[in-house]
Amino acid sequence: MILSEFTQNVFYVGVNDQTTYQFENLWPLPYGVTYNSYLVKGSTKNALIESVEISQCMKLIERLRSIDPEIRIDYLVINHMEPDHSGSVSVLKHYFPEMQIVGNLQTMGMLKGYYNISTDTLVVKEGDTLDLGNLTLRFHMTPMLHWPETMMTYLVENKVLFSGDAFGCFGAINGGIVDSEIGNDSMLTYKLEMFRYYANIVAKYGSFVQKALSKLSGIPIDYVCSTHGPIWHERINDVIETYNRLSKNISEEGVVIVYGSMYGHTEEMVDVLARQLAVCGIKNIKIHNISKTHESFILRDIYRYRGLIIACPTYNASIFPPVETLLSSLLLRGTENKVFTQVGSFTWSPAGIKKIAELCQSLKFQSVGIPVSMKQSITADTIAACLDLAKQFASALKQSDATIV
């Protein structure tokens, strides 16, 4: 392992996970994921910021020993107790018995609950500092990002913010650890994976993101070190602004069309809608067949773009099941400022369209036009109605208030 001291006395010692299929056993990982850990070497004390998921623990220990075979870890700072970061605590304690575990009161309750550890701990609260000799760590409580105990740690002298999951993204490290080492093509993948991470993991807690951003606003930051993905250095403003906009429900001009189609009839309506939207000048149109695309990618695009169209057949006198699941996910997370419409198909009863309309009332969508309801197969009248709806939708989208990211 080549040493990765990205700023003086601060080392990246995180690990790649390229074998796990689904993060939290829920979210696919086509590009892998990292569990980031950082060593801060002070003149009198060393602090490790975060551990890693348990299956990667020995890699972390090897990385630490590659820095110094006799290394001593005086403190383990736990910004977040979810086991993808805290999983190695017990093993680390075995290898580094002198280590004190640093966290807030909520951290300590979880430490006892998950690992039965309640000794050699140091409880910190907002603004507390920890002296490492020539370096100082300062702690900021940022609850519900995305667990109650989440906090951030700031290395004062180097202006490094260890931000927990905030500003993180899926995607393994491919050589480049700091964003300045990563080209634009790879960066685009990380950016999309940041949208997906936010939509699936953080979106429910947008108001807490805003509180955290407000708390951090006066702090000078040279590096943002999250628990997943690259270290942000050149793109700090971009990632903070991305979080700011997402948490304020400010989205880009574009339309996500999510459809279910058992035999291709509903899909024909989607083709008509999408083509007319493009003719009307809408350039970002993302179509997802809900039976083929994992929900996490659909949620990513829904949070990113302002327009949402659902096309759905009636099934068992209700909503096509995967569409119902998606709507539940949106209800759980909450989303606002969406320009919305729907079309649907049925064989003998158009019950699905009515049920979607009922569910969407709770989502506070801005509904456009009258949903097009198609019986059995597409006709000239259906095509005309879809064309008209798409024109209304494009117009409403362009007039909506949100700004383009």
Reading the block at residue 63, the tokens are 């990385």
Reading the block at residue 163, the tokens are 């931000």
Q: Which is nearer to ligand FEO, 50 or 295 (CB)?
A: 50
In the complex, minimum distance from the CB of residue 12 to ligand FEO, in angstroms, rounded to a whole number = 16
Q: Which is nearer to ligand FEO, 81 or 92 (CB)?
A: 81
- Count CA atoms closer than 13 A to 353's CA, side-chain side: 19
- Return d(Cα 142, Cα 172) in angstroms, integer: 26
Q: Which is nearer to ligand FEO, 165 or 253 (CB)?
A: 165
In the complex, minimum distance from the CB of residue 401 to ligand FEO, in angstroms, rounded to a whole number = 32
Angle between helices 184-197 and 236-247 (to 10 degrees): 30
- Return d(Cα 246, Cα 343) in angstroms, integer: 27
In the complex, minimum distance from the CB of residue 143 to ligand FEO, in angstroms, rounded to a whole number = 13
Q: Tell me if residue 184 falls in helix, strand or coil.
A: helix
Residues that bind ligand FEO (CB under 6 A): 80, 82, 84-85, 146, 165, 227-228
In the complex, minimum distance from the CB of residue 2 to ligand FEO, in angstroms, rounded to a whole number = 25
Q: Which is nearer to ligand FEO, 228 or 338 (CB)?
A: 228
Q: How many other CB atoms are there within 10 angstroms of residue 284's CB atom?
A: 16
Q: Which is nearer to ligand FEO, 59 or 85 (CB)?
A: 85
Rg of the chain (C-alpha set): 24
- Return d(Cα 204, Cα 328) in angstroms, integer: 13
In the complex, minimum distance from the CB of residue 117 to ligand FEO, in angstroms, rounded to a whole number = 19
Laid out side by side, the sheet with 223-226 consists of 129-131, 136-141, 151-155, 160-164, 223-226
Residue of closest CB approach to ligand FEO: 82
In the complex, minimum distance from the CB of residue 146 to ligand FEO, in angstroms, rounded to a whole number = 6
- Return d(Cα 396, Cα 277) in angstroms, integer: 11
Residues 6 or more apart whose CB falls under 8 angstroms from that of 122 comprise 75, 100, 101, 102, 103, 130
Q: How many other CB atoms are there within 10 angstroms of residue 223's CB atom?
A: 21
Q: Which is nearer to ligand FEO, 37 or 266 (CB)?
A: 37
In the complex, minimum distance from the CB of residue 215 to ligand FEO, in angstroms, rounded to a whole number = 19
Q: Which is nearer to ligand FEO, 82 or 295 (CB)?
A: 82
Q: Which is nearer to ligand FEO, 146 or 355 (CB)?
A: 146
In the complex, minimum distance from the CB of residue 308 to ligand FEO, in angstroms, rounded to a whole number = 27
